[in-house]
Structure 1
């Protein structure tokens, strides 16, 4: 392991929590160089919704590569891209009666957010972007402006301009949307009329906070009334993570712009897109570009993911069943261990359990790893244990993971009790 300490930057983070060397992976399992298996409740921070090395995607990718399929094409037409666009329209957009153009950005989520912010400002001619407490949108400067976490913001090295922060739904009991509405209608409020609002329907890194349907509908109505664009960042909460393909579907709203990355590529291959209403497509050719916006390998696996899992409701039903299974156990722990846990948070297979402190959550995470479960924390103080298994996990595998976590609770119960008291 010395090579990592000697050569890799101190910026690395996940390996500090999981200090082993992984060699292979399949489904929701990771295997180390010593043959030890770990159940993965991290899932690439949402990039592996369909599991590691999904066999359906793997064979399609192998076949494509073996036939010398295009790997890199900038934004030129390719058969792989055409197949993805066709599948995305047929199985995702049309059944939901959504009409969006697709913009391929650089392959990261933060680049998709940068493109969305740039487009909103271009279309409206305004600069201000309203964002929300505990939001996370990436670590490039524009996305970092929209991110609330001070740990990430503090590394920018420059002032972060161009945004106004408002309380998210339920934040400290403050009615942020009434405040927003009042300020929009008051010429002396000091609020520059926004180009857009940017939000996550479920705040992944912010602690699994869920925006309610009434809150989302009110925000959407305010945006429509005041000609403000609504951008939903579905990079982590999208692609089925909350139970439906898009996180906002239950609320019955239609955002003006949507950002997707992480699991849109299906296999964990880098890919990001922006969905924009056709009337917003005012880009000039090359105005927002990137060398790797044509990752054809990702197009192959993304297409296979859509055709395999989203052609009917079977997969959604599976995710909802596993979400109910998870919620039942989390609720049980909250009820029986109130000295440790505060409440269950999140939605779908994007749920977690809030601990009374980040210290308790950290101990649980370390103990889980000792029981061969990989799990991470979220929230302002890393106080939420985040259960983020691949969506393809079976009932039995989910039970195994929850049993491992229960073992972790029992292992360090004396320490936790002492901290809690």
Structure 2
């Protein structure tokens, strides 16, 4: 059947819209790992609200808590006032997340979005250190406002700023130079050389897994080396865990596997549990030098999000089972991706990034952790074709990477083994039928 009419979106809504172009239908309802359009078609969701729906759509446990709160006329809009909903969240977050991990962080509510948290992190780091420069990494993505764009690598997104993006310096991410030089050699040299042009940075901001950048996974030893470099050079380490936190890689925080404790952490997306806007800034107590009201925002007290966030912590993080389940599901994904790549014919190596011309290379490769995976094609146009075919077959997938060359898998953490297997079969069919 043809897609549902999109006339009002096409005539009234801005040209900036994007996801609806790849999924040309009108969605009406959703439950668990599925969405349904107004014509009754069913779609398995390997997108999960760009990582904002780790617990699936309309999770019944979270929905019940939200409905009960609304029906009793609980506070909806609270700025930074004390409310019972905020208190319950802070107590649960401390008891279930921070204390068991021996994390001493103070909690700040900077505003409802991830980029709000990043802006607050950069602002705090500069305030603490009294310096302007911040180091980021190649292919990083940290948000769409000006400060966050200044530490984002994607040229298309940066160009949208319309003005120079200053006080940010990119460094090579893990694997960026294919292991040809020691880790942080360039970074260390610039810091040591008074003629390098790099001002002493206030902070370094990093994603342990770069989602929008192409599912680039940093090694634990690389992250530990970065943390040690920051300590030695008097720079704050900021981990952007907006998409990879809340269990996406297995543990609640994506940096746990590396055994590091960042100075500052940003959280958003799935911290609210239900897809409701919410973000957190976590930082060491000694960094809490804010003056009252020095950083604020009208919607930083989204109490319905506090309610669903608390319900999510109680339901999924009190017993540690979700982490084990996510790692098991990740193994299921990895096996499927390995089989897909093994069946693809090799392409001339000159079509693959960082390869030697004239020698055959793999047609695709995969990488990931937990339940975030990327399938990268040597043919840069292939990923978009695969996602388009998957949509026709009832699976929602998006691309990532600087040229959209990676198919990104981001299913809900609550997905069943059967649903996951179904989606992986559709992916394999989509790859086969776009050859």
Same fold at TM > 0.5 = yes
Cα drift, residue 407 of structure 1: 2.0
CA drift at 1:102 = 0.4
Give ranges in structure 1 of 5+ residues lacking alignment. 417-421
Q: Which residue of 1 aligns with 2:358?
A: none
Task: Please report how far the alpha carbon of residue 186 of structure 1 lies from its aligned counterpart in structure 2 after TM superposition.
Answer: 2.4
2:399 to 377, 380, 403: 377
**Deviation at 1:185?**
2.1
Q: Is the 8 A contact 1:105 1:112 kept in 2?
A: yes
Q: 1-side partners of 2:234 and 2:34: how far apart?
A: 47
Report the equivalent of 1:361. 383
Q: Which residue of 307, 311, 320 corresponds with 1:304?
A: 311
Contact 1:378 1:385 in 2 (8 A): yes
Query: In the alignment, which residue of structure 1 is the partner of 2:255?
Result: 248
Pair 1:281-2:303 in alignment: no
Query: For residue 46 of structure 1, what is the aligned residue in structure 2?
Result: 51
Residue 405 of structure 1, CA deviation: 1.2
State the shift of 1:331 in Å: 1.0
Please give the residue correspondences for 1:7-406 in structure 2 after superposition, counting only pairs within 5 Å: 7-173=12-178, 175=182, 177-339=184-346, 341-406=363-428
Aligned residues: 413
SS in 1 for 2:157: helix
CA RMSD of aligned residues (A): 1.0
Secondary structure of the equivalent of 1:396?
helix
Q: What is the deviation of 1:51?
A: 0.3
Q: Is the 8 A contact 2:137 2:171 kept in 1?
A: yes
Task: Write out per-residue CA displacement over residues 184-211 of structure 1, whole angstroms, 9 at most, x where no aligned residue.
Answer: 2222222111000001000000000011
| 1:380, distance to aligned residue in structure 2 (A) | 1.1
Check conservation: 2:183, 2:222, Cα contact below 8 A.
Answer: no
Q: Distance in 2 between matches of 1:140 and 1:112?
A: 11
Which deviates further from its counterpart, 356-365 or 11-20? 356-365
2:207–2:240 CA contact under 8 A, matched in 1: yes
Cα pair distance change 1:148/1:176, threshold 3 Å: farther
Alpha-carbon distance between aligned partners in 2 of 1:294 and 1:386, rounded to the nearest angstrom: 32
Counterpart Cα distance in 1 of 2:244 and 2:375: 17
